Amino acid sequence: MKISVIGIGKVGATVSFILAKDGLASELVLYNRTREIAHAEAIDIQQAVALTPYRLIVRDGDLADTAGSDIIIMTASTPMPKQMRDRGELIVSNTQLLKTLIPPLVQNSPETIFINVSNPVDALTYQILQIASQYSDTVNWQRVIGTGTLIDSARFRNLLALQLGIHPNDIKAYILGEHGDGQFAALSAATCGGEFIDANPLRQQMVEEAKRSAWTVFQAKGYTNYTVSLAVEMIVRSIVEDSRYTLPVSVLIDGYCDVSACCLSVPCVIGRQGVHRRLKTQLNDKEVLAFQHCAQTIQQQLQQCPI
């Protein structure tokens, strides 16, 4: 299993380390515009692998060295202003970045699966799909996945677990829509042990608290890296092992809640071919409107830089 990580900043380096530590690749290629950074990280991670039970090659390279990648993880981004208040501020600059990176990546790996981490994650996941489909018939909507609200769902379940006194893994509750201010909890379908979780005002406040926590970390550190890296690891593992986990990730929406032509997070079954199924969560009327509002937000972002 060959995996390439594109963009070795704080997130890209952490993702690379976790994938190597868990032995999820036989070959890991690190690409960065400043190659010296990728080279140093590759050496450090390769040496760390000696302390694990796994054998794999970790190396830096240029775009040609990513040829034959089974999975390509996009963490590349233009600099994020410390005072950034909306991930959508990066749409124009990061779309231009994708226009230079995606064509050679697809030409070198025409059957790859893209996992997008770069923000705004939903709009850029859609842009990757639009660009990649011009260069490969194989890279379809099933093979372009954004981390989306997988991170937000984990934060929300953690808060629910503390309040309910139940392990987070036993709670089936998803944050859906955009990875941004419009995200919402599908509480009408949230359960634990088959029992519905009451959508009381306290739990609605948890949605806002989960949303704010990312900005709290970003404003202090200038980035978030641990939660998103473990989210990427979960997606990669489900692909590598064909585990068929159901994860809320950003994918192309085609008619769900009367939404089309954009990427948003819905529960998806993830396996060796990428997205095996998009699941249609039964939402109430208020949640449907929230999902449609998310779509409008993403489509407005996309209108700033059409492909």
In the residue annotation, 179 being an active-site residue is answered as: yes
255: left (phi over 0), alpha (psi -120 to 50) or beta: left
Give the largest CA-CA distance in the chain.
54
Give the Cα separation of 136 and 117 in Å (integer).
21
**Six token digits for residue 41:** 């990280």
Give the Cα separation of 53 and 25 in Å (integer).
13
**b/e sequence 96-129, b meaning 16+ C-beta within 10 Å:** ebbeebbbebbebbeebbbbbbbbbbbbbbbbbb
- The catalytically annotated residue of 39, 167, 179, 276 is 179
Per residue, the 3-state secondary structure of 8-52, as one string, reads CCHHHHHHHHHHHHCCCCCEEEEECCCHHHHHHHHHHHHHHHCCC
Does 120 sit behind a cis peptide bond, omega within 30 degrees of 0 on the bond before it?
yes
Give the Cα separation of 137 and 132 in Å (integer).
9
Number of other residues whose CB lies within 10 A of the CB of residue 306: 8
Q: Could you tell me the end-to-end alpha-carbon distance of the chain, in angstroms, rounded to an integer? A: 31
C-alpha 44, offset from chain centre: 25
Angle at CA of residue 189, ends 188 and 193, nearest 5°: 125
Nearest Cα to Cα of residue 156 among 122, 186, 178: 186
Q: Which residues are catalytic?
A: 179
